[in-house]
Amino acid sequence: MPNAPLSSSIQTVYDQQYVNSDAQWREIGARQKADDIIKLCQKFNFKKVLDVGAGDGAVLKELDSRGFTENLHAVEISGSGIEKINERQLKSLREVKLFDGYTIPYEDKAFPLATCSHVVEHVEHPRLLLREIARVSEYQFFEVPIDFSLFVDRKIDHFLSYGHINIYTPALFKFLLKSEGFEVIDELFLFFSDEVVSYLMKDWKQRLVYKTKAFLLENSPLRQVKPNAYAVLCKHKGEGVKIF
């Protein structure tokens, strides 16, 4: 499969991404991300799992500690991220490989499940990565933040500072998946956990405003439009984009 190269400027940034970054935030976020993976996937009892875009291994650590699978594998574009993963010495982690962001170095259908949590929003060519994930796995788990808002273009510097170069709603992300041949099996419309809220919002008034807003959204049809994140379990149908 022909793949586009990762931009050299982006590769340089991610190579050093995990040298002096906020490990506490990633550990907190990883607990909720692992919760989401387990909620959607545990009933299948996957014996072998590939995590695509594993970062510093914070989510791997949570999955390992909870006994999610006997065999964890990971691919990551960041050299500093791989160093952090190896330092964790996770019991169920069999191997972690450096990859170019698009070509996953495994054979077709090598994994019963591939997970890809909070990665696609960072990817220059998301369809290429989605196709490669479908190639190496039977089932696929994705989670993306829901950054969309009215006049989101006015916040471009804010989102680029996080490396978010793609903006989604749940419906837009499902459109992307379905147009690439993924069948949606189950899904979650997600709001921040109490732990995440406490970390992000130090002022009690800010926390109260958020929790009130989240309560109203969670209990209305808008929960499917503007949650904080969207998670989905898929199975690829073996066919790609069909137009006309």
Q: Which two tokens stand for residue 192?
A: 């921040």
Q: Same domain, yes or no, for 164 and 232? A: yes
Residue 197 within any structural domain of the chain: yes
Residue 1 within any structural domain of the chain: no
Q: Same domain, yes or no, for 173 and 218? A: no
Residue 242 within any structural domain of the chain: no
Q: Which amino acid is present at 42?
A: Q
Instruction: Give the helix/strand (H/E) hosting 176.
Output: helix 170-179
Q: Same domain, yes or no, for 34 and 106? A: yes
Q: Same domain, yes or no, for 83 and 200? A: no
Q: Same domain, yes or no, for 95 and 202? A: no
Q: Same domain, yes or no, for 196 and 180? A: no
Q: Which residues of 191-212 are buried (b: 16+ CB within 10 A; e: fewer)?
A: bbeeebbebebeeeeeeeebee
Q: Same domain, yes or no, for 210 and 92? A: no
Q: Same domain, yes or no, for 148 and 218? A: no
Report whether 226 contacts 146 (CB < 8 A).
Answer: yes
Query: How many C-beta atoms surround the C-beta of residue 21 within 10 A?
Result: 14
CATH of the domain at 117: 3.40.50.150
- Would you state the pLDDT for residue 4? 66
Residue 35 within any structural domain of the chain: yes
How many structural domains comprise the chain? 2
Residue 82 within any structural domain of the chain: yes
Q: How far is CA 176 from the centre of its chain?
A: 15
Residue 244 within any structural domain of the chain: no
Residue 176 within any structural domain of the chain: yes
Q: Same domain, yes or no, for 138 and 112? A: yes
Q: Same domain, yes or no, for 108 and 205? A: no
Q: Note down the domain range covering 207.
A: 192-226
Q: Which residue has the tokens 């002022």?
A: 203
Q: Which residue has the tokens 């545990």?
A: 42
- Would you state the pLDDT for residue 15? 67
Q: Same domain, yes or no, for 113 and 139? A: yes
Q: Same domain, yes or no, for 143 and 209? A: no
- Would you state the pLDDT for residue 220? 92
pLDDT of the chain, 244 residues: tens digit per residue:
545 667 776 676 776 677 766 788 899 999 999 999 999 999 999 999 999 999 999 999 999 999 999 999 999 999 999 999 999 999 999 999 999 999 999 999 999 999 999 999 999 999 999 999 999 999 999 999 998 888 888 988 988 888 899 999 999 999 999 999 999 999 999 999 999 999 999 999 999 999 999 999 989 988 899 999 999 999 999 887 778 7
- Would you state the pLDDT for residue 3? 56
- Would you state the pLDDT for residue 21? 67
- Would you state the pLDDT for residue 240? 78
Say whether pTM exceeds 0.85: yes
